Amino acid sequence: MAAGVGPVEVSLLLLGHDHAGAGTRGAARSVYLVESMKLAPHEMAPHTLAESSVRFASMLAPSSVGDEDADGVGRGTELDRYLNSIGHRLRTELTNLLGYSESLHEAERQDEGFQTSALNRIEHAGQMVVNIVEELEMHLVREHAKRNLARTLRKISMVLASSLELNEVILKIHECIAQITHFDRSQLYWVYDGYLEVAETSTSAPVRLDINTAPFDQVFKNLPQIQYIARVDHGQVSSVVDFCEAYNSWLCLPLMGPRGPIALITLESEEVDSYDDLDLGLLNAFAHHAFLALSNARRYSETRKLLEFDPLTRALSRSHFFDLAQHKFEDARRAEEPLCVVMFDVDHFKRVNDVYGHPIGDLALQHVVDHAQLALRPVDLVGRYGGEEFVVLLPGIELGVAMAIADRVRRRIEITEVETKNESFHVTISAGVAMYHPGQDTELSALIQRADAALYRAKAAGRNQVIAETLEEETAELTVEMSIEAGEFSEFSERGKSED
C-alpha cells in the first residue's frame, strides 16, 4: 500500500469508538476524520485515494445526533452538533472524491489515462476537505479558549463570593484581574452623583474626582464600553489625577448596574499599547462577576452599618457598643489595666424639641456626638444608650483623667453652637464617670450603673457638670465624689490632653 494510506487506515478504524472529549459517537467520528485528513492530505495520490476511499467509504455513514452515553443519558451539546454538521460536509466532499477516484481507478485499469477535468475536480474536492478541516480546527481552538475562560470565570466567581467584607472583596477583585491580564497598578473608584471616590484598598490618590476630569470624562461619554488609551498623552491628563509619568497605557473598566456604573476599575501599564482585544474581552466577561460581588458586599456593609451605628448620630448602636465594650472590659480584667465609663445626656433636651422642633433636636444630637468624638481618642467608644443619653468607654484611663476628659467633652459642647439655617443656639450636657475596680467589678453593667447614678446626681446638682461615682464597699464606706465646675481640675485637663 502506498505511503500515506497507513495513517488514514488507522484513524478510520478508530471511527467506531467513542472519543473521551467529544461527547457523542457522531462527534467522535468527526474528530477522528479530521485527524485522519490532517495526517495525510498531501500524500493521497489519485490511485491510492481511490483504493482507500472504496475500502473505507462504509465508515462514513451518518451518525445520530441523539446518541446516548453508557448511562442512557443524552449528551448532545452545541459542540457535538457543530461537529456532526462538519462531519456531514466532510462526508459530502469525500463522497465526491470517492466518485472521482473510482472513475480514475477504472480509467487506469483501461489505460485511458487521467482526464484533466477529473483531476481538477479531485483537487477542488480535496481542497474543500482541507478547508473544512482548517475551519473545524479553528472552531475547536475557539471552543477550547471559551471553555478555559468559563472555567476561569467560575473559579473567579467562587473566589469573589467567598467573602462579604467590602475591603476583602475589593482586594480579591484586584487579585483576580491579575489572573486574567497584566498591569503595573490597578485602582477601584466608587461612582457617585457627579464624582468618583477612590476605594480604601486602592493606592494613594485624591479622595474625590469630578466625573468630568480627564480621562474619566471619556469613560462616561462612552458607557458601557471599556475606555482604553493605548498611548497616554500625559499632557491631556488632569493634574488632579494620580497618574504616574511611567505609565503609558491606561484602561478603565466600568462595572455596570441597572441604573449605570457603580464603580470603575482602572489598569495602568508601563508598556505602550499594553492590551489587545483578548484582554478587553476577558475584562468584559469579568466585569459582571465583579459587579455582583461588589453589589453584594456593599449591601452587606450598609446593612451591617445600620446594625452597628446609630443612623441619626453615627455613634455606635447600643448593641454594638456593648459587644465592643465587653471585649475591652475583658481585656482590662486580664491585663489588670484601668478602664472608665462615662454616661452623659443633653440638658433640657425636651425644651430644645419644644422650642425648635424635632428636626432641629436631631441636629442638636448630631452636634453633641460630633464634638464628643472630636474630644476623644480613636480607641475610645461612643454609643447611643437611648434617646438623648450616650455612653463612652475609656480604656487604659484612671478615674481622675477620665473626669478631665469628660469635662473636656462638656466644655467643647458648651462653647460651640448648634447652627441652623435661621439661627444658632447652645446646648449643654451632664455626665457621670465610673472606674473599673479589679476584684470587685465582674460585669461591665456594674460600671455603667454607677456612671448612670453619678449622671443623675450631676443633673440634680444643677446640670452642665461632671460627677464621679460613689463607691460603697462592704468593709468600709468610701465616698469619692468629684464635682467639676468651670476652671476646676485644670491639672487633670492637661493630663487628659497629653493622654490623647
What structural domains does the chain harbor? Answer: 5-158 (no CATH), 166-304 (3.30.450.40), 318-499 (3.30.70.270)
- pTM confidence score: 0.53
- The pLDDT score that the predictor gives to residue 120 is 65
- The pLDDT score that the predictor gives to residue 391 is 98
> Which regions of the chain are under pLDDT 70?
1-127, 129-134, 136-137, 139-146, 148-149, 200-206, 240, 471-500
- The pLDDT score that the predictor gives to residue 141 is 65
- The pLDDT score that the predictor gives to residue 468 is 96
Locate 21 and state its grid cell.
472529549
Give the model confidence (pLDDT) of 89-128 as tens digits.
666 666 666 565 556 556 655 555 555 665 666 666 666 7
Angle at 384 between CA 378 and CA 385, to 5 degrees: 125
- The pLDDT score that the predictor gives to residue 46 is 44
345 pairs with which residues across the strands? 389, 430
- The pLDDT score that the predictor gives to residue 110 is 57
